[in-house]
Amino acid sequence: KVARETEKLAAYKEQLETAMFATFKRRQSISHMSFEEALDHAFGRERQFDDSEFRKDEMSE
């Protein structure tokens, strides 16, 4: 029973991701933003590691 529910959830997840990406692409096609800008805006951008910031924290300890 658990395996069957896990399969259902995986299928729902895939359907949701497909629908979300299709909606994103449709909205982006009429937007002034580039595809990359729209991705960053929709899903956020990973923060780049700033070595100097790490050193400041390390020195203050």
Mind listing the pLDDT tens digit for each residue in 20-51?
888 888 888 888 888 888 878 877 775 454 55
Cβ-based neighbour number of residue 35 at 10 Å: 12
Contact (Cβ atoms closer than 8 angstroms) between residue 42 and residue 20: no
Query: Where is 44: in which H helix or E strand?
Result: none
Alpha helices, H only, 30-50: 35-43
How many structural domains comprise the chain? 1
* pLDDT for residue 15: 95
